[in-house]
Every structure is written in C-alpha cells, then in structure tokens.
Amino acid sequence: MHIGDTGDSRPPSAQSRRPRLVVGVSGSSAPQLAFAFLETVRALGTVETHLVMSAGARLSIELEMRRDPLELEKLADVVHDARNMGAAISSGSFKTLGMVVVPCSMRTLAAVATGNSDNLVARAADVTLKERRPLVLVARETPLSYIHLENMRTVTLAGGTILPPVLSFYHQPKSLDDVLRQVCGKILDRLGIENETFDRWTG
C-alpha cells in the first residue's frame, strides 16, 4: 500500500493491528541492508512496516543494485513519500515501536543530530527521539571524521543508537546473506522485536 499526499487508501477498519515500525532508507551506500531488513521483518510477520525512502536512497538502489526502488516498496506494508511532511509518521501521536534508518548516510545522521528535518526520513527520526522511542541509525561510512563522530555522540546522548553494520565472524558466515542476516538480527534486538533470525553467541 502506498501513501502519498492524500493519506491512507484503506478505511481505518482495514488497518493492521500489529505494532508499527518505521523504516527509513537514506542515500548511503549498501542499500542491500534495507532489502535484507525488510525481507527479514516481513518473514517474521509480527510488525507493520512503514517505509520512507529519500531521493538519494532511490538513486543508490538503482546504481548499486541495478534494481527498481519499487521492489523495496513491495516488501513494506505502507510506503510514505519522503516529500510528504504531513504523513502519519511525522507526528508523535502516531504510535510506533520506533524507527530504524538502514542504511543511514552521514547527511541523514547530521540532519537528525541537528534537528534539521528537511524530509520525512529526518522528521520521522526526530519524532522518534522526542517521543523517547527506540531510534537505530545503521550508519554506513568509513573512515569517520570528527564531524561524523560528534553527530553520533549527539544522537546517542539524545537517546538514539548508532549501529554500524560491523562484520561478525563467530557464526562462520558462508555468504553475504549470512552477514546481512546477522546485522538485521542485531537491529531487531535493539528495537525490542523478538526474533531468532541470526546466530547468537552461546559461549
């Protein structure tokens, strides 16, 4: 279901009663993370996903994956236009479990750290922080500058979580999918969403 400037196309009675999760996708490299995350959440079937993609995210998907952004939209329950600052997810009265930005560019990180909500991805993240809900930014950049680190520090002090997609090897990954699944599981854990989608360390 796509939501544009006119709002939800379904009547309230048809709405899912599952808890809602906002999924933002910014113009960072590695849009594969967004696909893997939405596929993982869709398989769980326990939450209703509200997707919002920046213009940069759409370009990254086309350039890095040679895929149509519409393919990512099909994995979400609800899709919001990043230009629609009046969307439901722009208000704190719209209850959600929280939000993840995956991947999160340094531009989006800076927008969240400074409260400069110039698109719906940044605005929804700002709302998540002010409502004291879990916000996870899957920051994708290396090396990091002092500015990047300061922005990460600011978001962390405001209650957000910076979760870089750091590689794990204790589970002996055999493929890129194994690596992506591990990152997705850690994101879900930070959001408090029950899952057994990845290998946990047992000692």
Q: Encoding tokens for residue 57?
A: 């995210």
Q: Say how far residue 32 (Cα) sits from the centre of its chain.
A: 12
Place of tokens 């927008």: 111
40 is in an annotated binding site: no
- The whole-number average pLDDT for the span 49-60 is 98
27 is in an annotated binding site: yes
pLDDT tens digits for 87-106? 999 999 999 999 999 999 99
65 is in an annotated binding site: no
**Based on the structure, what is the number of domains in the chain?**
1
Least Cα distance to 99 among 126, 136, 131 occurs for: 136
Residue 6: inside a domain:
no
- Rounded to whole angstroms, how far apart are CA atoms 158 and 161? 9
Residue 71: inside a domain:
yes
74 is in an annotated binding site: no
Question: How would you class 194 by CB atoms within 10 Å of its CB: exposed for 0-12, middle for 13-18, buried for 19 or more?
Answer: exposed
- Please tell me the predicted confidence (pLDDT) of residue 14: 42
For the cut 70, the answer to whether the pLDDT of residue 9 exceeds it is no
- Please tell me the predicted confidence (pLDDT) of residue 168: 87
Residue 5: inside a domain:
no
Residue 13: inside a domain:
no
- Rounded to whole angstroms, how far apart are CA atoms 149 and 155? 10
List the CATH number of the domain containing 139: 3.40.50.1950
Q: Encoding tokens for residue 158?
A: 């405001």
Of 106-110, 119-123, 164-168, which gets the smallest average pLDDT? 164-168
93 is in an annotated binding site: no
Alpha-carbon torsion, ordered 164, 169, 170, 175, to 10 deg: 110
Could you list the residue range(s) of the whole structural domain that residue 62 is in?
30-191
Residue 201: inside a domain:
no
Residue 11: inside a domain:
no
106 is in an annotated binding site: yes
Strand partners of residue 21? 49
- Rounded to whole angstroms, how far apart are CA atoms 119 and 112? 11
Residue 22: inside a domain:
no
9 is in an annotated binding site: no
